[in-house]
Structure 1
Amino acid sequence: MAQARAALGIQQAEALPTLAAQAGGQRQRVPGDLNLTGRPVVGNDFQVGLGLASWELDFWGRVRSLEGAARESFLASEAAQAAARLSLITQVAQADLALRELDERLALANLTVSSRSESLRIFTRRVEVGATSRLALTQVQTLLTQAQALSAQLDLARANQAHALMLLVGGPLDSRTVPLLAATRLAELQPGLPAELLDHRPDLLAAEHQLKAANANIGAARAAFFPRIALTGQAGTASAELNGLFATGSAAWSFAPQITLPLFDGGRREANLAGAQARRDEALARYEATVQGAFRDVNDALAARQGLARQLAIAQQALAAQRERARLSTLRYDAGSAAFLEVLDAQRDLLAAEQQQVQAQRALLSSQVSLYAALGGDAL
């Protein structure tokens, strides 16, 4: 963006005349055979003045068109910077939600490890007193090792996710105390949102400015078919002696207007105009594709929110059912009405249901972040 701003400043300066202070001196010897006196002549020439470099009179709008193109390119780069910022915000939010999900899943796994460690202690004592079989003990050990393996896996995944988030935020992370459900608070939105919300998307703004810049370049290419009028001049004093520079009668000036109209350039101007028009067509196609992609992103995000909300409700119902199943299977085993294998299956399915419920919860919150980004970040 800083480069585009500088390019705009350069192009704006093209519309103004360039003035420069000039001072110079010259001493020369002319041989006698090159002057009328027939004798060698040594002469001085001193000048001081203000010079006007070649300044184009922009009758046909060529310079204005180039300035407009530079301005639109700057605005496009500014929008691209906003798009990069929104992308970073989205990545940080998604990475933070992923880390919170792993925190909750790891906490559930550690609770399960603690519970099953206590169960292993109880069953070990039962085997010692002959109250249960060693098969049941090995089944409890299997449950414990499964929970321990899951805990170790989640602990590694959490460390990697924390490192990724630290890279995004550029520093250490704060202590994580906010529950996953309260991590993101966005307004509830439904299909039928006004299309004006997409005006907040920086990628749309960037594509629009790029299209305007392409149109401005066409204007500059067309102006090249008309004559170019430039002014050059200077005004000051001149004298053969240094002390006579500012004496009366030493004023000197020159004025040189110039009109240029290329008559034959091998088709250069036509090709330049055709290229500018082709770049305008490309920018138009890119703008249309960006608009279509924006609507698709919003529709996908809205559909994901609805679908994931249903999935979360189902996951919560499944978790409640698995908890009741685990409770009843434990009661049946304690009453001698069922084998421990039934408890084993119920406990394994309960742990999976707990993990799936947290994953569904995080997926729903991630869809809210995606919708925030799809609407341009400022729409909510």
Structure 2
Amino acid sequence: MSKLRIPSFTLPLLAAAVLSACSLAPVYQRPDAPVAAAYPAAVPVEAVRTAGVTADSGWREFFREPRLQGLIVAALEHNRDLRAAALRIEEARAQYNIVAADLLPNLAGTASGSRARSAAATSPTGASVVGSGYQVGLTLAAFELDFFGRVRSLNEAALAQYLATEEARRAVHISLVAEVAKAYLSERALAEQEDLARRTLASRESAYKLSQQRFEVGASSALDLRQNEILVQSARASLAALARQRAQAFNALTLLVGKPLDGLPAPGALAAQGIVADLPAGLPSDLLARRPDIRAGEQRLRAANASIGAARAAFFPRISLTAGLGSASSELSGLFDAGTRTWSFVPQLVLPIFDAGRNQANLTLTQVRNNIAVADYEKSIQAAFREVSDALAARGAIDEQADAQARVVDAQRERLKLAEQRYQNGVASSLEVLDAQRELFSAEQSLVQARLLRLTNAVDLYRALGGGLKETAAG
């Protein structure tokens, strides 16, 4: 039995395809960040280091309330948007593997057999003949010698698209953590406002019953009675509206988590959330490394840059090889006998001569898409800079607003106490007491909103700075 041998003249060609390929893609250069060199406000890094928190810390170190941590864990496991993002990574990886396969020769084993009968009228002997043929071998099908880097550029573009998809999944991860936190905080704020409205309604109903008794004995006017009734019905309307809003917020949170919200720790008050508000903002240039959406934009820019190389290579000759090596015989038993070896070698050169401007149009298309990718990349940087700047600018003002609103609530409580004393001593009318009750309820509701605003600002800053992907808890 003879040994199968690859024709020796194919080896230099294969080596040339691997070693001498060049790339016609432009040299990639990251565009300059179109933002200022510093934020309008800065965060003292030393204060953050004292708290043991950095921008690379995990989300568990930012969101420390047990129920919120349980919600985030459940969302990361069951949220359909995050699951779809993970599947898109698998899709991009498969697409990259398909393109990468063109860098190496595709070999295939073949085996065939045939039997045919010739007509007697066409046979030289005047008799029909039955012939048989059998063939086995190894074939190389149209392997392109990538002298001008077309295949390699397509491979680089596919790889960059895959990496961009991976970064997009990280961006969805961070956004999901932030959205779950904000949805949970909103539900908690509505729960506190609903509880406040329920207690206010109970208090006003008691006051209304007392006013009714006073009216029946002639100690108060019908105007006082109707004013107390208005307060009761207003509190009832507020309670109903807050109950509806809380139910809708709970449904929105359930949708984000992707499963029923059971088996979780008891919820805590807004004041007990312990969300870290002091995060190191660093410099705007740090966002290029922190934010996955910006990194994804840069990978898409790399893909567009590589596509230009593939479009340029289309103007040059394309050389491909088709080869085969095997054995053929008219008898199956003699398929591997001496003298049955066969081989074929078919190089092909394709030189574009006239394509009605197709290659030029394709090159123009890739260049335009590259410019679009540059614009999108720069816009993502500008959007990130604005998000961080807005969160930093709002932080100090929100803290002051919450502190001031807390003082307003204290003052309104004292005002109501004084108004009730004045009314009992006959110095003031019931209208003064009713007005103080209305103002106190409004101030307490505003205080809950201010506390929610302070917490959501911390969440916004967490997301704007690139979040934290680690799940290891700090404690």
Under a length normalisation based on structure 2, what TM-score does the superposition of the two structures give?
Answer: 0.75
Number of aligned positions between the proteins: 380
Alpha-carbon distance change, 76 to 22 in structure 1, aligned in 2, over 3 angstroms? same
Alpha-carbon distance change, 72 to 203 in structure 1, aligned in 2, over 3 angstroms? same
Counterpart contact for 2:420–2:433, Cα < 8 Å: yes
Q: Distance in 2 between matches of 1:271 and 1:124?
A: 86
Tell me the SS of whatever aligns to 2:110: strand
Cα shift at 1:379: 8.7
Cα shift at 1:104: 0.7
Task: Describe the superposition over 1:256-295 as per-residue Cα deviations: whole angstroms up to 9, x where unpaired.
Answer: 2222222222222222111111111111111111111110
Q: Distance in 1 between matches of 2:411 and 2:458?
A: 28
Letter in 1 for 2:210: I
Q: Distance in 1 between matches of 2:277 and 2:219?
A: 57
Specify which structure has the bigger relative contact order, considering alpha-carbon pairs within 8 angstroms and separated by 6 or more residues. Answer: 2
Between Structure 1 and Structure 2, whose CA radius of gyration is higher?
1
1:311 aligns with 2:401: yes
1:78 aligns with 2:159: no
Tell me the SS of whatever aligns to 1:237: strand
1:299 aligns with 2:401: no
User: Which of these residues, 352, 361, 367, is aligned with residue 262 of structure 1?
Assistant: 352
What is the RMSD of the two structures over their aligned residues, measured on CA atoms?
Answer: 2.2
Equivalent residue number for residue 61 of structure 2: none
Counterpart contact for 1:8–1:70, Cα < 8 Å: yes
1:52 aligns with 2:147: no
Cα shift at 1:236: 1.4
Q: Distance in 2 between matches of 1:41 and 1:155?
A: 93
User: Which of these residues, 113, 118, 124, is aligned with residue 206 of structure 2?
Assistant: 118
Counterpart contact for 1:198–1:294, Cα < 8 Å: no
Q: Distance in 1 between matches of 2:307 and 2:122?
A: 54
Q: Distance in 2 between matches of 1:190 and 1:14?
A: 46
1:166 aligns with 2:254: yes
Alpha-carbon distance change, 37 to 379 in structure 1, aligned in 2, over 3 angstroms? closer
Query: Where in structure 2 are the equivalents of 1:93-172 lying within 5 Å?
Result: 93-172=181-260
Give the unaligned 5+ runs of structure 1.
Answer: none
Task: Describe the superposition over 1:177-222 as per-residue Cα deviations: whole angstroms up to 9, x where unpaired.
Answer: 3111222512414766453145221211111110000011111111
Alpha-carbon distance change, 184 to 57 in structure 1, aligned in 2, over 3 angstroms? farther
Under a length normalisation based on structure 1, what TM-score does the superposition of the two structures give?
Answer: 0.93
Query: Where in structure 2 are the equivalents of 1:114-263 lying within 5 Å?
Result: 114-173=202-261, 174=264, 176-189=266-279, 193=283, 195-263=285-353
Alpha-carbon distance change, 24 to 177 in structure 1, aligned in 2, over 3 angstroms? closer
Tell me the SS of whatever aligns to 2:165: helix
Counterpart contact for 1:69–1:216, Cα < 8 Å: yes
Equivalent residue number for residue 9 of structure 2: none
Cα shift at 1:85: 2.5
Letter in 1 for 2:159: R
Counterpart contact for 1:82–1:202, Cα < 8 Å: yes
Q: Distance in 2 between matches of 1:293 and 1:332?
A: 56
Q: Distance in 2 between matches of 1:342 and 1:306?
A: 35
Letter in 2 for 1:360: A
Q: Distance in 2 between matches of 1:271 and 1:135?
A: 82
Equivalent residue number for residue 362 of structure 1: 452
Task: Describe the superposition over 1:83-102 as per-residue Cα deviations: whole angstroms up to 9, x where unpaired.
Answer: 22222222221111110110
Alpha-carbon distance change, 63 to 307 in structure 1, aligned in 2, over 3 angstroms? same
Equivalent residue number for residue 326 of structure 1: 416
Tell me the SS of whatever aligns to 2:103: coil
Letter in 1 for 2:340: S
Q: Distance in 2 between matches of 1:167 and 1:379?
A: 22
Cα shift at 1:349: 0.5
Letter in 1 for 2:323: G
Cα shift at 1:314: 2.0
User: Which of these residues, 89, 102, 127, is aligned with residue 14 of structure 1?
Assistant: 102
Of the structure 1 ranges 107-116 and 23-32, higher mean CA displacement relative to structure 2 is found in 23-32
Counterpart contact for 1:23–1:48, Cα < 8 Å: yes
Give the unaligned 5+ runs of structure 2.
Answer: 1-88, 471-475
Counterpart contact for 1:197–1:379, Cα < 8 Å: no
1:373 aligns with 2:467: no
Letter in 2 for 1:84: V
Task: Describe the superposition over 1:314-337 as per-residue Cα deviations: whole angstroms up to 9, x where unpaired.
Answer: 211211111111111111111111
